[in-house]
Structure 1
Amino acid sequence: MPRRGRVKKEGPESGEDSDEYRKRRDRNNQAVKRSRVKSKQKTQETMNRVNELRNENTVLEEKVKTLTKELGFLKELFLAHASNSVDSSKFDGIDLQKMLADDSNPSQ
């Protein structure tokens, strides 16, 4: 099967031993090496970033758990205080349970 895109020159310098051919091959080989090194470096940087983000995500998930527990505790404390308050008239007409309901989406 003939190769496409490559025109073979005729003459004394047309062989694979020509200086011009060797120079082109050497330049191409160097370019390929640089490209492979750059590709490996980019892959390594991406993997490092993925690991950093995973670690950060773990920390943030733990923070969410802690804050959720704290919120639950504070809600209970508030309800206990509100139900034991001497002046409960402050809370007349307010549905405390609804107000303190554990919404997963506070913007609703």
Structure 2
Amino acid sequence: MPPKRGKSKKDIESGEDSDEYRKKRDRNNLAVKRSRVKSKQKTQETMSRVNQLRQENSVLEEKVKSLTQELGFLKELFLAHASNNGNQGKFEGVDLEKLLNDSTESNNENL
């Protein structure tokens, strides 16, 4: 037995079946409208999230910039302090410049 096929548009539009066809079309039209509204809402939510993340990213980039400047200042302060006090045993055998440069390079790699 061959599979049943739905009525063709021609069969549905003729006579008493036109009400059934109209109901199906109306239901389909409502489903399409709901789908489009849902899709538009999802797109708007996504765009809103993108904008929010961009703002957060800008804030974080400014924070990184500020902390990098602070780190540079503290390194200079440390070096000035270390050179003023001379090598009083604590820093013997340690190349402070190399240590600070290595620290800076590893910080830049993490960015």
Partner of 1:15: 13
* CA distance 1:10–1:74, change in 2 (3 Å): closer
Higher helix share: 2
Q: Which runs of 5+ in 1 are unaligned?
A: none
* CA distance 1:61–1:9, change in 2 (3 Å): closer
Structure 1 runs, 4 residues or longer, greater than 4 Å off? none
1:8-27 deviations in whole A, cap 9, x for unaligned? 2776xx32671110010000
- Tell me the distance in 2 between the aligned counterparts of 1:59 and 1:9: 59
| Identity percentage of aligned residues | 68
Following TM superposition, by how much is the alpha carbon of 1:88 offset from its aligned partner in structure 2, in angstroms?
2.8
The CA RMSD measured in Å over matched residues stands at: 2.2
Partner of 2:77: 77
* CA distance 1:9–1:34, change in 2 (3 Å): closer
1:36 maps onto 2:36 in alignment = yes
Q: Where do residues 1-108 of structure 1 align in structure 2 (5 Å cutoff)?
A: 7-8=7-8, 14-15=12-13, 18-86=18-86, 88-101=88-101, 102-103=104-105, 104-105=108-109
1:38-68 deviations in whole A, cap 9, x for unaligned? 0000000000000000000000000000000
- Tell me the distance in 1 between the aligned counterparts of 2:9 and 2:86: 104
What TM-score, normalized by structure 1, do the two folds share?
0.82
What TM-score, normalized by structure 2, do the two folds share?
0.80
Q: How many residues align?
A: 100
* CA distance 1:10–1:48, change in 2 (3 Å): closer
